[in-house]
Amino acid sequence: MLLGSIGTGKEYILEEDYTNTAFVEYQQPIKLSSSILPFTKRTYKLFNEASKKQPSDLKINYTDSLVEKPKFVQLHISDKVTVLEQLNNKNNEELIDYLKVQPEAKMVTSISLALNQEKLNQLQTAEGAFLTQSGYKHYVISLYKEGEPIDQIQLNDGAVFAYETSSFCWKENKRRQLQIVDITNGDPCPKKTYSNSRKVIKEENYFKL
């Protein structure tokens, strides 16, 4: 399960319901928001189920009686503008062609990630977290302080146990080329944009009649 990747499947909980189908080539870092949250009975159960299917050997000790509950991080893509710029970049032309005919494909825009305490501390002391590409089809979380990179977190350092996805909204640009102009998490696409690229073409043909 990779934050910023594209796939199909049920939302929002178990990784086994999700199939990764494509990767965005990110040439710019994508700003993330992060929240450190305590485990609950529900999230701990989700972690236990998901961790069995992932390579991480991370162990979390949780009981209701613990005063200080173990914590996890929620990472959410907050910079939609840069994501849209990257999606419509020439480097992602093949991906755009794929998405045009796969309206059910969505982007993973938020994950719940269990990490060890050292990694959580790194996140808490950083002033910013960014999704960056590090090699072919490989993303990392880059941590910054005072504008300089200070550390990296590999997504397989921990265990992803929940996620949210966002849909794409399409519109024609001035050159009558299809572009993704928005990504939405459960909300309908803005006026005159469509979740299915074929509807944009149909509307264009309608007005030509």
Q: Tell me, yes or no, whether 185 lies in a domain.
A: no
Residue-wise pLDDT tens digits, 130-155: 999 998 889 999 999 998 999 999 98
Domain residues for the domain of 141 are 6-168
125-129, 173-177, 189-193, range with greatest mean pLDDT: 125-129
Q: Tell me, yes or no, whether 181 lies in a domain.
A: no
**Number of separate domains in the chain:** 1
Q: Tell me, yes or no, whether 35 lies in a domain.
A: yes
Q: Tell me, yes or no, whether 205 lies in a domain.
A: no
Residue-wise pLDDT tens digits, 188-200: 999 989 988 888 7
Type of residue found at 48: N
What's the per-residue H, E or C state across 47-77? HHHHHCCCCCCCCCCCCCCCCCCCEEEEEEE
Distance of CA 184 to the CA centre of its chain: 12
Q: Tell me, yes or no, whether 178 lies in a domain.
A: no
**Residue whose C-alpha is closest to residue 197's, from 167, 179, 165, 170:** 170
Confidence of residue 56 (pLDDT cuts 50, 70, 90): confident
Q: Tell me, yes or no, whether 129 lies in a domain.
A: yes
Of the chain, the percentage scoring pLDDT greater than 90 comes to: 67
